[in-house]
Each structure stands twice: as C-alpha cells, then as structure tokens.
Amino acid sequence: MIWARAAGARAIGPWLGWAVACALLAGCPTDEPVVDVDPIVDPLSRPAEPTLSPSSFQPSDDCAACHPDHAAQWATSSHAYAMVDPVFRALVELRRADFDGAQDSFCLQCHTAIGTRGGEIVPHFDWDALSPVVQEGVTCEACHRVSALERPWNSGHVIQEGGPVRGGIADPASSPAHEASFSDLLTGASFCGGCHDVIELGGLQLERPYEEWTEGPAPEEGRPCQSCHMPTTTGPAAVGGPSDRSLHDHRFVGIDVPLSEGFTTAAEEEVLRTRIGALLDGAASLDLVAAPFVPGEVVDVVATLHNHIDGHNLPTGSTFLRQAWLELTATDADGTVLYRTGDLDANGDLRDHWSSLDPYGDADLVSYSSRLTAADGRPELFPWRANEHSSGSIPPRHARTSTLFVPTSADTPGPLQIQARVRLRTHPPHLLRALGLEHLVDRVETWDLATASLQVPRGP
C-alpha cells in the first residue's frame, strides 16, 4: 500500500495517484514540503496559548507511593523513554534545523502531550529546561487524566486538568490522593490510537496500528490493544486497596528495549527481552515450497510469511524506521552456497540503497517494512522530507508470498538445503550512524520472527 501527501487529514487512505493528489494541491510534486495543516497550531494538541499548566500535573514518583508496581513497570517502558530517547531527540534536532524551530511542537504533541498543551514546547525550546513531568514523556497523567478523544490520531486526547484519575476499575476505592473514576475510553483501542496513528503535516500517513486494528478481526473478537500489550494479573491496584483487582502490565511491551545504557537495569532489560520474546512467539510463521530440482536449471523457492496477529499488520507502528526482512540461503549437498539474500554487509546493514559498502547488492531483498520516497523518487530516511510512503507490511491474518530463484549447474550435488528466517529489528545501523548515534548500534537486538528450512531433492 502506498500513501502520498494529500490535502485533508484522514482523506488519505490508499494511494490516490499523483494526478488526484496534485490536483488537490495545485502544483506538486515539489522539493518543498507541502503543508496544508497549520504547522504551528492545532487547537487541541498544539494550542497557540497554553490550555493547561504542567505544574498542576504530578510526576510518577508521586504515584509510586501507592502504586509501586505500576510505577516500576512504567519506568522501564517506551512511554517513560519517549522524551529522553536519543533517536527521538536526534530526529527532532534534524527537523528543527530544517524548519528553523518553527515546527518543534509537531513531533512533541504525543511524546509529551502535557508539554505541548502546557506551553513549554515553543520554537527552539531547551530540552534541559523542561519541567520534570514534561521530561517524563508519556507519563501517568498523560493517560489517566484523559476525559475524551477528539480523533484517534495525532494526539487526539482531551486532557482534563484537575479532573479525576480515570481507569478501568468500575468501583474504585476512595483515596486521599485523588478522585478516581471508571472510564470506558481507557479500556478501548481508540484510546491508544489517539497517539499511535501518526499523520505528518501535509497528510503523509506514517503510523496506523489503530486503523489496521479496525480492518482486522480484533474488534469483533473484543481484543483491544490492551489485551496484548498490557497482559493481566490479579492483585491490589493500590497499597492497601482490594486484593482481587485485574491489573494491567505497564511495561507496554512491543519490540523495543530502550537503547540508552543505564535507562533500565540489566535485570529489567532481561524481563523486557523475555516479554518481547513471548509477544513475538506465534506472531508469524514461514513456509517454504520448491519442486525437485533439475541440475543446470533455476529452482523456484516460494517463501510465504503468515501474520497471525489479529491486532494489526506485521510489522506495524514506525515501520519506516524498523527493518523486517527475509533472510534465505541455499546450499548444495557439499555446503557450497548457491544463493543468498537478506544477509548483512560488514557494517551490519542490508545490502540495499542504504548500504555504503554494497549498495543495491541484494537485488532480490524481500522487505516487509515500509519505504519513504522523496519527490525526486529517491529513497528518503526522514518523514518530513518525504512525499510518498509505501508499505510492505502484512494485514492481520494475511500472508505474503515471494519467489526466489536459486541457480544450479549441471554438476550441482543434491539435495539442496534451504534455510530461511524473517528478521525484525528496531533501528538499522545506517540510521543510527546518520544521526551520530553509532555507539548504540551494538545495543540493537535482532529478533527472528519465524524460521523454516527445506530439503530440495534432485528431480527425475
């Protein structure tokens, strides 16, 4: 699926064709970013004047006294990492340089919803001068003071200053610290969509797990995001509270372990890795099919990746940063490699456009993530400089088939061995190098989503 810049926030959907998009915009494509939404102001999430005061929100330490487990879990999550994430900061700095600070609030409206609504995210703001609750990113009260949702994308939450804390407990016990009330909104998927679906200024759709969720079987099954990303246990929700509450894990495990050394302890990191492994277990499977081979002829190897996730595409979220790809090697009976795709160059990069050692060396590379393209048709790394976003991700309960062609010669000894796996990683080395973060390359974990092997006998 391909998205292009187009007028109007949600009218984007699938590829419109340049003709339509350009008729709407009158005069594209251009090298300049096309901006049809006010780049500076959104009355809800990036208001011209503050609509709340950050000082009336409490940092997570204040909640930890009575909710120690929630606070400890959250502190290791990507939500707690959202404002200190060096990849985020480096990208914001780059965008800031492109627009001379004028659009600084755009990237921050979800990473710190309290900061942009509270007037702290002004052009050229100073990261170190932000108040603690703003530095906490997606902090407790960025979620628990939400009273309504205006749109399930681009920070669509109404945050109620001084309102009750809201959650999924229907009959909350009284607390000296706060009023509490049940909220249907927080138990549903659209609540997460409010931040997880991202549309760039100019209309380029960047992340859409919630929209994907609405297109799959999960809504009918009654499986919101929380059911997979906040698994439940039973216990007290607050110190001294009733002990039979259904508790929701606040590590918000996806595929990321915060990359910065020291953000989590080694023990916490181990827990996150185990949880990621559990989330990925059964998420996908890979089939390989090939007919018996005739020496001297090309062997067609058909690889099919199945997405077993009901919740959204595989992969999802910031797929333009992620890499998900097929690695496949074919060897003959002597162990000689006949064919290889999806292997890495000496820098750890795939041998595609971004490899500095072997650009486009892997002509058959099968990628399941997404690609940004600039107006001149060249691949682009950074979304605000791109005109088009094309995705290779697989919808819920769907599959994608690719055929690879393995050469043989008249004296190739059989049987052939095919080894394949689908790999997923959060940050490609070339991206970290482009952002001056090469010291983080070794911290990136690569996950095997699915593996398969096949023996191909000699034909008659």
For ligand HEC, the binding residues in 346-375 under the rule CB under 6 A are none
Question: Using the rule CB under 6 A, which residue among 42, 85, 104, 332 binds ligand HEC?
Answer: 85
Q: Does 330 bind ligand HEC (CB under 6 A)?
A: no
Residue 316 neighbours by CB under 8 Å, 6+ apart: 207, 208, 209, 212, 393
CB 141 within 8 A of CB 133: yes
CA atoms within 13 A on the CB side of 296: 2
Shortest Å, Cβ 459 to ligand HEC? 38
Place of tokens 């990237």: 107
Nearest to 10 by CA among 194, 195, 215, 204: 204
Our finding on whether 67 is near ligand HEC (CB under 6 A) is yes
Given candidates 315, 342, 428, 429, which one binds ligand HEC under the rule CB under 6 A?
315
Q: Which of 39, 47, 51, 62 binds ligand HEC (CB under 6 A)?
A: 62
- Considering only residues 247 to 276 of the shown chain, the ones binding ligand HEC according to CB under 6 A are 247-248, 250, 252-256
Binder among 3, 21, 29, 70 for ligand HEC (CB under 6 A): 70
Taking CB under 6 A as the rule, does residue 429 contact ligand HEC? no
Interface segment toward ligand HEC; rule CB under 6 A; list 19-27, 55-63, 343-351, 438-446: 55-63
By C-beta, is 84 or 338 nearer to ligand HEC? 84
Enumerate residues 180-219 that contact ligand HEC by CB under 6 A.
180-182, 186-187, 189, 191-196, 198, 207, 209-210, 213, 218
29 in contact with ligand HEC (CB under 6 A): no
Q: What minimum distance in Å lies between the beta carbon of 402 and ligand HEC?
A: 18
Give the bridge partners for 389, in sequence order. Answer: 3, 372
Among the listed residues 65, 102, 122, 278, the single contact to ligand HEC using CB under 6 A: 65
User: Out of 101, 241, 348, 415, which residue is the one contacting ligand HEC (CB under 6 A)?
Assistant: 241
- Considering only residues 134 to 173 of the shown chain, the ones binding ligand HEC according to CB under 6 A are 138, 140-144, 154-155, 165, 167-169, 172-173
Q: Interaction with ligand HEC in 373-402: which residues (CB under 6 A)?
A: 383-384
How many angstroms separate the CA atoms of 237 and 110, rounded? 26
Of residues 221 through 240, those in contact with ligand HEC by CB under 6 A are: 223, 225-230, 237-238
> Which one among 106, 125, 320, 368 touches ligand HEC, defined by CB under 6 A?
106
Binder to ligand HEC among 21, 91, 272, 305 (CB under 6 A)?
A: 91
Task: Count other C-beta atoms under 10 Å from residue 315's C-beta.
Answer: 26
Q: Is 322 in the site for ligand HEC (CB under 6 A)?
A: yes
CB of 390 to ligand HEC, least distance (A): 17
- CB of 366: closest distance to ligand HEC in angstroms? 17
